[in-house]
Amino acid sequence: MKKIRTFIKKYWITFLICVGFVFLYKYISDNKMFNALMFPPVEDIWAAFVKDRDYAVLNLFYSLKLLIPSIAVTLVIALGLGVLVGMNTRLREILHPIIYAFSCVPSILLSPFVVLLAPDFWWASVILIVYGTVWATLFATITGIQTIDKRYLDNAATLELRGARKFFKVILPAASPSILSGFVNSLRSSFVMLVYAEMYGATYGLGFYVKRYSSLGIYKNMWGGFIFMVLVLVLVMQLFEKIKNRLLKWTID
């Protein structure tokens, strides 16, 4: 009961804002202030989603099958390369300009080459998602390691910590606030890239689901899919925030 009261106290304003958006949309659709076809009544959107919920869940499953491996690959590349570049000054001087240059190239420009060279669309989608999301975590890892308080390293030297023990006991925990903050941005970007990848070539997925009904002009289903996709994103982000807060409880007042 205490957790419920805490939750309500924390999010009641957020809830009222969301309710306000719903009533605003209802006012717009009921009064036909814009194109009535593109802004169907709230009741029609809800009925369409309930009727189509199994298909929506199926598309969610396919999106997660694409998203989870992409995030895993992103973490491996970002942490592996970020640690090497962050800990080695000479390597950072050599690679940082190249990394920065690649990060400025929009993934949409590379998509024709990736689709052509990848063995299939699934791999092309993974590559595009990883390319579009890896930079935030990579730069956050480099910055987090560069800005570690020198006192931590001095204490590690006093305790004669070296190699893997020094990395896992000192360097990684000290850099983790920066790394996890970067990963939050990568996680948001991954959903954007996921939708982009699925809208152009996929046969399943949340992006495909929304694009399909948009192309067919069935906007009540499109709105239902869009709202469902936003709710999934919010739940995933909230889950990660819980994990992040638990991992960084030593930094939280």
More confident call, 129 vs 202:
129
User: What amino acid occupies position 88?
Assistant: N
Please, which residues have CB within 8 angstroms of residue 149's CB and are 6 or more apart in sequence?
174
More confident call, 147 vs 200:
147
> 8-12, 120-124, 223-227, 235-239: which range is least confident on average?
8-12
For all residues of the chain together, what is the average pLDDT?
82
Fold observed for domain 51-251? MetI-like fold (1.10.3720)
Q: What is the pLDDT of residue 251?
A: 65
Q: Per-residue pLDDT tens for 53-92?
A: 888 888 888 888 888 898 899 989 988 888 888 888 888 8
Q: What is the mean pLDDT of residues 213-229?
A: 86
Question: What is the radius of gyration, based on Cα positions, of the chain?
Answer: 22
Q: What is the pLDDT of residue 200?
A: 65
* All structural domains of the chain with their residue ranges: 1-39, 51-251
154 by Cβ neighbours in 10 Å (0-12 / 13-18 / 19+) ranks as exposed
Q: Per-residue pLDDT tens for 8-48?
A: 777 778 888 888 888 888 888 888 787 777 888 888 888 88
pLDDT surpassing 80 at residue 161: no
Q: What is the pLDDT of residue 144?
A: 86
pLDDT surpassing 70 at residue 250: no
Q: What is the pLDDT of residue 1?
A: 67
d(CA 206, CA 199): 9
Per-residue CA distances from 215 to 67, 165, 208, 212 (Å): 24, 55, 10, 5
Q: Smallest Cα–Cα separation from 219: which of 50, 58, 39?
A: 39
pTM of the shown model: 0.80
